[in-house]
């Protein structure tokens, strides 16, 4: 009887772990478009709801665990709200790492941030640029450790 309880407990814990660890991409939310780019070569370009947007990171080459300046530039119209950037690794929850952007010109927004280092050795990171109320885009790029 007692061992039965333990087996059930084990199964419940295992199920809980599997639920927690399994990817949540099938949650039904629409994923933002993804753009792969070489951020060391120059700005990455994409569109958010039809508006052209570019992301640049300085200094280059872009290194993890260094102070970095992120610049988001819009072409055409000024966005309706101040954008922000969420940094993370594709497929891995690294915790919230948000770069707060501030206006640095008519269509340019800048902010300071750090891309942290993953001990696994994976170097691919993503910067999700979001314009509140409009949409977002994910830039995927490799960083140097």
Partner 1 sequence: MLSTEAIYFVIFTTGLAVGFGHCIGMCGPIVVSLSLSLKGRSVIVPHLLYNGGRITTYGLLGGVMGATGSYTRVVAGIASLQKGVMILAGVLIVVMGLAMAGWIPLGEIFGDYCNPQGVLSRGFRKLSEARSAVTYYPLGMLLGLLPCGPVYTALLAAARAGMEAQSTLEGFLIGVGLMLSFGLGTVVALLLIAKLADLGWLKRRDVIYKISSAIMIIVGVYFIVKAIRY
Is 140 a residue that touches partner 1 (CB under 8 A)? Answer: no
Check whether the bond before 61 is cis (ω within 30° of 0).
yes
Q: Of residues 8, 13, 34, 132, which one binds partner 1 by CB under 8 A?
A: 13
- Site size toward partner 1, by CB under 8 A: 28
> What is the DSSP secondary-structure string of 69-80?
EEEEEESSSPPS
Is 96 a residue that touches partner 1 (CB under 8 A)? Answer: yes
Would you say 98 and 83 are in contact if contact means Cβ atoms under 8 Å apart? no
Q: Of residues 15, 81, 94, 144, which one binds partner 1 by CB under 8 A?
A: 94
Of residues 66 through 85, those in contact with partner 1 by CB under 8 A are 66-67
With H, G, I as helix, E, B as strand and everything else as coil, classify residue 102: strand
If you search the block for the tokens 């070489």, which residue do you land on?
38
Q: How many CB atoms lie under 10 A from the CB of residue 2?
A: 6
Closest distance of CB 117 from partner 1, Å: 7
Using alpha carbons only, give the angle 67, 70, 75 rounded to the nearest 5 degrees.
Answer: 170
- The interface region with partner 1, picked from 3-11, 30-38, 44-52, 135-143 by CB under 8 A, is 3-11
Is 10 a residue that touches partner 1 (CB under 8 A)? Answer: yes
**CB nearer partner 1, residue 19 or residue 76:** 19
Closest distance of CB 57 from partner 1, Å: 15
CA 93 – CA 106 distance, rounded (Å): 34
CA 98 – CA 86 distance, rounded (Å): 4
**Can you give the binding site for partner 1, defined by CB under 8 A?**
3, 6-7, 10, 13-14, 16-17, 20-21, 65-67, 89, 92-97, 100, 114, 116-121
């Amino acid at each position: 009887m007692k061992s039965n309880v333990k087996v059930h407990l084990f199964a419940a814990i295992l199920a809980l772990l599997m639920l927690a660890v399994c990817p949540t991409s099938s949650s039904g939310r629409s994923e933002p478009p993804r753009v792969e780019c070489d951020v060391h070569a120059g700005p990455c370009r994409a569109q958010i709801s039809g508006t052209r947007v570019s992301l640049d990171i300085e200094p280059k080459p872009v290194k993890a665990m260094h102070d970095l300046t992120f610049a988001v530039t819009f072409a055409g119209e000024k966005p309706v709200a101040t954008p922000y950037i969420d940094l993370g690794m594709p497929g891995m929850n690294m915790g919230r790492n948000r770069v707060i952007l501030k206006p640095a010109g008519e269509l340019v927004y800048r902010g300071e941030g750090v891309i942290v280092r993953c001990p696994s050795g994976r170097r691919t990171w993503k910067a999700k640029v979001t314009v509140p109320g409009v949409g977002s885009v994910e830039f995927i790029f490799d960083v140097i450790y």
